[in-house]
């Protein structure tokens, strides 16, 4: 059994990790930390776990964590970077669901997150945990930067086109719609029901931290410098990301060829589902499931629209983290991740 | 023109007061206060007011307020009681949308609100501002305790039966469902979309501050000591209260007689709408409107069910406050309050 | 492997059965029927099943169904009664998620459902499938009447008190709030988002088909004639039932004694979770899970309030049907039913 | 008083017209038609109108309509074209909230709406009723094609840039998010709460009827052939459209110059509100109000993002129709249209 710990267990990615890890046949969650809730039972905060989780929150303790096989950081940026180096030194694998190791460039990190990177060496050793594109590197790594939710949806949707060099690299637009859980379990006025329900609003139009993450990854995959217009929107729903992706082809390509490109690229991927050409996936079709559903359109010749939906807390966070863990420990990648989406 | 001020203008009752008072033909809102947002334009916080409101928040200043004709307190309990006596002394009328003057009994106030009442004399002079039952007293008063949202829906639904002495006084149950705006514009985790949307939960089952307010008022109207089981529930919606009221008749009464009782009691009331017997009013039928819609049922002989719906921010707060203001200044009670509910 | 069929597979209980049965280790779903969608793949209607379900809808065929071990009817009332007798005769077990066999009294059925019962013999052999109260009978039966969603929540909440004879039998009130999926997957105007979202309304206050089902079952369990005021409400949410239950004690009972009564009654029940006294369960704590969470209150001496929440599609329908199936085939009752609720 | 009639009064644009016209000081609604509901009171279908509307539905009768001053068609396409010519001949002004007269090109109409245009002469006389761009023509017309909801939001957002010739004409993208009321008051399964709440989905990506309407209007305003990628999405909310508009500048332009362009273009417009540069308008800021709020962004030099929000039923339908009516009858354009948006 893999002995696992979760640092920062009072947020939505923390409880979602528990939902996935508690029934996982090869994992035992031994530690879950929270300074604020130290000593309290986890299931008093998350009553869905009553009967399946007897854990109490503990204060994070380096010695305790060092005895585990893997530690998940479900923390705001700036936390994992301080603990990861020692854990790695003591042979504990680290999966950071926060942002500390997503941007390989420490300066870019400092620019976008407003703090110097305090573990640049670990940063160099980190692997971007998007299994569909970095599967081999993940297996050989010990520190995984779990991708952001928006980047997961956007990269999976754009990458087949960019790997193949098919798009003009300066025309990319990702118009993304996210459920409110993407903002975290935090009492901000703009997230309460009377503000965020029954309304739609864009935010961060002029710059959002997930943009450099997407641009860097897509640039890496395409071998070109990719510039993206990334527009996130807050949706009146709980879970789900719908990424509407726009690009222009460098040369004519038939609808069938476009579809084949995606179908073949993801044919062996258990967690990417390419719908028939011209489909319209709904976010509810992935609610609670570790899957990205993708549909391709070409409304006018040369103009490609890709629709990509995920559950931001599963394939966009906790599910992908478990997928990465399975890789790290040479388990079947789908182990513990076969939940069917809850519909309706 | 009535010169009006609003103390505590950053919450939902404050902005709703502005929505109703700005187009009111006999009112000019001259002052709106907020310590936290002093100097900021109101319409940066409430963009629905762009183009119709040039006010900026000011710090509350007794001298400024004393020059007004009426001051609305849209504040948490404990604020109005400190300012009201001086304003009254300087001939300013006061309408408190908070709870400071709702419970005539200072000890009950202390018990339920956890603080001593600091203006017991004003409390004695205050009038409970439910025009349908205290119309004359309101006209002669200068300090109005605007009823709570739940009490408005519950009292309007039960009172005709209790005035007539028709119900066993110990069998009253008010099962109430409220939209989240009833909890105020406050960043509490339990109110954010991922917690409060797509879910229903009861709260305060063993005791809620609106219960003594309802019991005292119903006892007054019936001349008996009324005991109520009051169960509030948080609904995944923005506005609206649905009160489902249960009582048992002391003697047989036909459906027609029940209906007549309600129809006659409210025949002259502009803001209480009695639906045909056996109807099911929806909260959306009153969204944004200063109206209470009521329907009566008798599923089994002797068992009465009354359904009563209001918009908690209008008839349950700001609209009723304007109705009271109209009374205070001998204006037609409906002036400025004829908005039609927004449906859908 | 148990060979299972689903008759009427285009509604919400049908897809929910598939979500639970497809990963069930002892079941193979071999047939799913729909006249309207004959020949179409199930996963084109329910894209959450893409990749896990290759079934196509077939027209219902008695010969095909007769070769199965168990047939689930996820159909409107009036369908199962016509097929069940022949299936039973050919040794197929039948679990009806519809209403045909819930009311033991054929006349009551005719009254409430507006049609004569066409299989009175089968009706006499049917067992009401609420395992917590009829576990032994279920195991020995071959035709299961799966309880309605409201009855499940209400009976589980009231029954411990009534079994013990503690409540006045004429004071029972069940004020119930249901998500819209309870109305089925049907294009009715009153269920579309602009009508049913952001609003609350009661319905069927003067009489609902689930009332006689609840009354009959509670009467059976208590040995007395139970009369219930049952008030269903439509909530602006997808899944979930919140039953708020009111009763009056015949004799004084301490809070601790009440709590003990519930705790002991359900101590061995895997799917009933008694919360600490005075708790407020949210429907989201059971979303997608086969569990009923219950909390007990005594706001005033003698006045009991029980809060009972379920997912109407799981413990209120498909999950309970699988639980019954497990019983019928002598499998562990929890097999395939350990999904953790999706929260947020 | 203007004698007005509404043909097709059981949908959302019909009831919204009533909400706006009933209190309008210069209008009397004398007729509202519905074949299906003939003889029934309007307020039984729309209880928000109880107390303010005594009208009953009548079957549409040419003679009755011919005696009115103006007739609003709130009907599906294909209805107004059959009645308008006669009404016009009898000097009745016609405002069609449907699509019959929006596309000046009868062949385009036939292509997109799947039926030949049966009133080509009237079509030639019709005026596209977007007052901000066709104010003078509207005043001189007698047949108004009220714009679609999406076109209103998109054209108001793009037009200042295109009038000035600032955008590459082949890079325009309108990614639009609409509340469910945009689909009409119709019982379609995909619109019910369990399907459309808590989920986002695109639709009509490869072609939607509003695209040619937008392209034709923008082409007219710019003097160039505009090609638009138009992607509508269904949002889990009741009202509101959020248009996120993307374009590329032909030459560098400062943020300030962009802002000035919009601010000056709309400085005199009572119903277009240009927010400070870089703002993020929420749809709820226009709920129930006849206003379009617009914000401009330039995330990277040359890349313009315009955010444009309206209430689809008000500025996107009924409100704009009343605005057009005011023009037709030489009334102040804002008469009866000063409702403040309902927030929260």
Q: pLDDT tens digits for D37-91? A: 999 999 999 999 999 999 999 999 999 999 999 999 999 999 999 999 999 999 9
Q: Please tell me what DSSP assigns to residue A100.
A: T
> Residue C21 domain-assigned?
yes
Instruction: Tell me the percentage of chain C whose pLDDT exceeds 70.
Output: 100
Looking at the 3D structure of chain D, how many domains does it have? 2
Domain match, A175 and A81 both: no
Whether the Cβ atoms of residue D250 and residue D244 lie closer than 8 Å to each other: no
> Residue D104 domain-assigned?
yes
Query: Which chain C residue shows the shortest CA-CA distance from B194?
Result: C344
Binding-site residues on chain B for chain A (CB distance < 8 A): 12, 179-181, 185-189, 191-198, 236-239
Query: Which chain D residue shows the shortest CA-CA distance from B181?
Result: D344
Binding-site residues on chain D for chain B (CB distance < 8 A): 12, 15, 19, 22-23, 46-52, 181, 185, 197-198, 238-239, 273, 275, 281-282, 284-289, 291, 293, 313, 338-344
Q: In the β-sheet with C228-234, what is the strand arrangement from edge to edge?
A: C201-202, C228-234, C172-178, C241-248, C303-310, C292-300, C272-274
Q: How close is the nearest chain A Cα to the Cα of C78, in Å?
A: 25
Q: Which helix (H) or strand (E) holds A93?
A: strand A93-96
φ, ψ (nearest 5 deg) of residue C160: -60, -40
Q: Distance between CA atoms of D72 and D8, rounded to whole angstroms?
A: 9
Helices (H) and strands (E) in chain D, counts: 12, 13
Domain match, B158 and B279 both: yes
The answer to whether B191 contacts A187, with C-beta atoms less than 8 Å apart, is yes
Radius of gyration in angstroms for the set of CA atoms belonging to chain D, rounded to a whole number: 19
Mutate to test the interface with D, among A179, A180, A201 (most CBs of D within 10 A): A201
Whether the Cβ atoms of residue A217 and residue A151 lie closer than 8 Å to each other: yes
Radius of gyration in angstroms for the set of CA atoms belonging to chain A, rounded to a whole number: 19
- Residue A227: the pLDDT is 95
Measuring CA to CA, which residue among A255, A2, A213 is closest to residue A98?
A213
Domain match, B300 and B187 both: yes
Domain match, B38 and B174 both: no
Mutate to test the interface with B, among D14, D42, D47 (most CBs of B within 10 A): D47
> Residue D134 domain-assigned?
no
> Residue D56 domain-assigned?
yes
Q: What is the pLDDT of residues D312-336, one digit of tens each?
A: 999 999 999 999 999 999 999 999 9
> Residue C143 domain-assigned?
no
Q: How close is the nearest chain B Cα to the Cα of A220, in Å?
A: 35
Q: What is the pLDDT of residues B60-110, one digit of tens each?
A: 999 999 999 999 999 999 999 999 999 999 999 999 999 999 999 999 999
Query: Which chain C residue shows the shortest CA-CA distance from A271?
Result: C51
- Residue D151: the pLDDT is 98
The CA–CA distances, whole Å, from D285 to A191, B44, B181, C327, D273 equal 15, 11, 16, 55, 11
Domain match, D85 and D188 both: no
- Contacts of residue B153, Cβ cutoff 8 Å, sequence gap at least 6: B176, B241, B242, B243, B292, B308, B309, B310, B316
The answer to whether C198 contacts B284, with C-beta atoms less than 8 Å apart, is yes
D contacts of A282 (beta carbons < 8 Å):
199-201
- Contacts of residue D173, Cβ cutoff 8 Å, sequence gap at least 6: A173, A175, A246, D228, D229, D230, D231, D245, D246, D247
Q: Distance between CA atoms of A235 and A193, rounded to whole angstroms?
A: 11
The three-state secondary structure class of A319 is helix
Residue D171: is its pLDDT beyond 90?
Answer: no
Instruction: Work out the angle at residue C332's Cα, subtended by the Cα atoms of residues C328 and C336, and round it to the nearest 5 degrees.
Output: 95
Kindly write down the DSSP assignment for every residue of A116-163, as one continuous string: --S-HHHHHH-EE--HHHHHHHHHH-SEEEPPPHHHHHHHHHHHHHHH
Whether the Cβ atoms of residue B261 and residue B173 lie closer than 8 Å to each other: no
- Residue A146: the pLDDT is 98
What is the pLDDT averaged over residues D159-179?
Answer: 96
Domain match, C166 and C252 both: yes
**Exposed e or buried b for every residue in D315-338, given b needs 16+ CB within 10 A?**
bbbbbbbbbbbbbbeebebebbbe
> Residue D337 domain-assigned?
no
The pairs formed by C113-117 with CB atoms below 8 angstroms and a separation of 24 or more are: C113/C77, C113/C78, C113/C209, C115/C77, C115/C78, C117/C81
Measuring CA to CA, which residue among B315, B324, B237 is closest to residue B13?
B315
Q: Distance between CA atoms of C265 and D147, rounded to whole angstroms?
A: 64
C contacts of A194 (beta carbons < 8 Å):
none
Domain match, B57 and B103 both: yes
The answer to whether C193 contacts D185, with C-beta atoms less than 8 Å apart, is no
Nearest neighbour of C48 by CB, restricted to A15, A197, A285 = A285
pLDDT category, D176, cuts 50, 70, 90?
A: very high
Nearest neighbour of D201 by CB, restricted to A199, A202, A281 = A281
How many beta-carbon pairs below 8 A join chains B and C? 135
The pTM assigned to this predicted structure is 0.98
Identified catalytic residue from D53, D127, D149, D176: D149
3-state SS track over chain B: CEEEEEECCCCHHHHHHHHHHCCCCCEEEEEEECCCCCCCEHHHHCHHHCCCCCCECECCCHHHHHCCCEEEECCCCCCHHHHHHHHHHCCCEEEECCCCCCCCCHHHHHHHHCCCCCCHHHHHHCEECCHHHHHHHHHHCCEEECCCHHHHHHHHHHHHHHHCCCECCCCEEEEEEECHHHHCCCCCHHHEHHHHCCCCEECCCCCCCHHHHHHHHHHHHHCCCCCEEEEEEECCCCCCEEEEEEEEECCCCCHHHHHHHHHHHCCCCCCEEECCCCCCCEHHHHCCCCCEEEEEEEEECCEEEEEEEECCCHHHHHHHHHHHHHHHCCCCCCCCCCCCCCCC
pLDDT beneath 50: ranges in chain C: none
Measuring CA to CA, which residue among B270, B334, B331, B258 is closest to residue B296?
B258
Q: Distance between CA atoms of A228 and A226, rounded to whole angstroms?
A: 6
Which ranges constitute the DSSP H helices of chain A? 12-21, 42-45, 62-66, 80-89, 106-113, 120-125, 131-140, 149-163, 193-196, 210-222, 255-265, 319-328
> Residue C320 domain-assigned?
no
The answer to whether D200 contacts A242, with C-beta atoms less than 8 Å apart, is yes
Nearest neighbour of B305 by CB, restricted to C200, C231, C287 = C231
- Residue A133: the pLDDT is 98
D149 belongs to the catalytic site = yes
Domain match, B103 and B160 both: no
Domain ends where: A125, A159, A189? A125
Residue D240, by phi and psi: left (phi above 0), alpha (psi -120 to 50) or beta?
Answer: left
Identified catalytic residue from C53, C127, C149, C292: C149
Q: Distance between CA atoms of A224 and A216, rounded to whole angstroms?
A: 10
Nearest neighbour of A305 by CB, restricted to D200, D203, D231 = D231
Whether the Cβ atoms of residue B32 and residue B39 lie closer than 8 Å to each other: no
Whether the Cβ atoms of residue C228 and residue C173 lie closer than 8 Å to each other: yes
> Residue A135 domain-assigned?
no
State which residues form the domain around A196: 150-311
Whether the Cβ atoms of residue D269 and residue D293 lie closer than 8 Å to each other: no
pLDDT beneath 70: ranges in chain A: none
Domain match, A178 and A79 both: no
- Residue D169: the pLDDT is 87
Mutate to test the interface with B, among A16, A197, A316 (most CBs of B within 10 A): A197
Measuring CA to CA, which residue among A11, A22, A92 is closest to residue A55?
A22
Q: Which CATH number do you get for residue D58?
A: 3.40.50.720
The answer to whether A287 contacts C47, with C-beta atoms less than 8 Å apart, is no
The answer to whether C194 contacts D236, with C-beta atoms less than 8 Å apart, is no
- Residue B299: the pLDDT is 97
The answer to whether C344 contacts A288, with C-beta atoms less than 8 Å apart, is no
- Contacts of residue D127, Cβ cutoff 8 Å, sequence gap at least 6: D134, D137, D138, D140, D141, D143, D144, D145
Query: Which chain D residue shows the shortest CA-CA distance from C235?
Result: D193
Q: Distance between CA atoms of D173 and D160, rounded to whole angstroms?
A: 15
C contacts of A288 (beta carbons < 8 Å):
288, 342
- Residue B292: the pLDDT is 98
Tokens of C329: 């085939």
Domain match, D95 and D223 both: no
State the first-to-last Cα distance of chain C, in angstroms, to the nearest integer. Answer: 35
- Contacts of residue D174, Cβ cutoff 8 Å, sequence gap at least 6: D150, D154, D157, D158, D214, D228, D229, D230, D231, D243, D244, D245, D246
B contacts of D342 (beta carbons < 8 Å):
19, 48, 287-288, 342
The answer to whether C287 contacts A342, with C-beta atoms less than 8 Å apart, is yes
Residue with tokens 């501002």: B129
B contacts of C238 (beta carbons < 8 Å):
198
Domain match, A180 and A293 both: yes
Mutate to test the interface with A, among B15, B45, B193, B288 (most CBs of A within 10 A): B193
Tokens of A297: 């359109």
Q: Which CATH number do you get for residue B206?
A: 3.30.360.10
The answer to whether C187 contacts D185, with C-beta atoms less than 8 Å apart, is no
CB atoms within 10 A of CB A247: 23
Which pLDDT tens digits describe chain B residue by residue (344 residues)?
A: 999 999 999 999 999 999 999 999 999 999 999 999 999 999 999 999 999 999 999 999 999 999 999 999 999 999 999 999 999 999 999 999 999 999 999 999 999 999 999 999 999 999 999 999 999 999 999 999 999 999 999 999 999 999 999 999 888 999 999 999 999 999 999 999 999 999 999 999 989 999 999 999 999 999 999 999 999 999 999 999 999 999 999 999 999 999 999 999 999 999 999 999 999 999 999 999 999 999 999 999 999 999 999 999 999 999 999 999 999 999 999 999 999 999 99
Domain match, C160 and C222 both: yes
- Residue A170: the pLDDT is 84
Q: Are strands D70-73 and D2-7 parallel, antiparallel or unpaired?
A: parallel
**Exposed e or buried b for every residue in A221-242, given b needs 16+ CB within 10 A?**
bbeeebebbbbbbbbbbbbbbb
Q: Are strands B93-96 and B70-73 parallel, antiparallel or unpaired?
A: parallel
């Amino acid at each position: 059994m893999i002995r696992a710990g979760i640092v920062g267990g009072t947020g939505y990615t923390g409880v979602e990790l528990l939902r996935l890890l508690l029934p996982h046949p090869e994992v035992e969650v031994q530690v879950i930390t929270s300074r604020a809730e130290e000593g309290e039972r986890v299931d008093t905060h998350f009553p869905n776990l009553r009967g399946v989780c007897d854990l109490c929150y503990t204060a994070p303790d380096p010695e305790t964590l060092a005895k585990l096989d893997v530690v998940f950081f479900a923390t705001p940026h700036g936390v994992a970077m301080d603990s990861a180096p020692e854990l790695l030194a003591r042979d504990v694998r680290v999966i950071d669901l926060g942002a500390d190791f997503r941007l390989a460039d420490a300066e870019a990190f400092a620019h976008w997150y407003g703090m110097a990177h305090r573990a640049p060496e670990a940063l160099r050793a980190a692997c971007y945990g998007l299994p569909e594109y970095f599967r081999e590197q993940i297996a050989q790594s010990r520190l995984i930067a779990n991708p952001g939710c928006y980047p997961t949806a956007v990269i999976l949707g754009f990458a087949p086109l960019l790997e193949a060099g098919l798009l003009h690299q300066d025309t990319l637009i990702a118009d993304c719609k996210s459920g409110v859980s993407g903002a975290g379990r935090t009492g901000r006025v703009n997230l309460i029901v009377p503000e965020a329900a029954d309304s739609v609003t864009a935010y961060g139009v002029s710059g959002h931290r997930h943009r450099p993450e997407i641009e860097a990854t897509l640039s890496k995959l395409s071998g070109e410098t990719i510039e993206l217009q990334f527009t996130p929107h807050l949706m009146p729903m709980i879970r789900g990301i719908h990424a509407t992706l726009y690009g222009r082809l460098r040369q004519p390509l038939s609808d069938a060829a476009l579809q084949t490109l995606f179908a073949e690229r993801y044919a062996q991927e258990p967690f990417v589902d390419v719908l028939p050409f011209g489909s319209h996936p709904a976010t509810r079709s992935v609610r609670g499931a570790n899957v990205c559903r993708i549909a391709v359109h070409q409304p006018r010749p040369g103009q490609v629209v890709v629709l990509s939906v995920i559950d931001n807390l599963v394939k966009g966070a906790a599910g992908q983290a478990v997928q990465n863990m399975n890789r790290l420990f040479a388990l079947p990648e789908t182990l513990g991740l076969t939940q069917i989406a809850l519909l309706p």
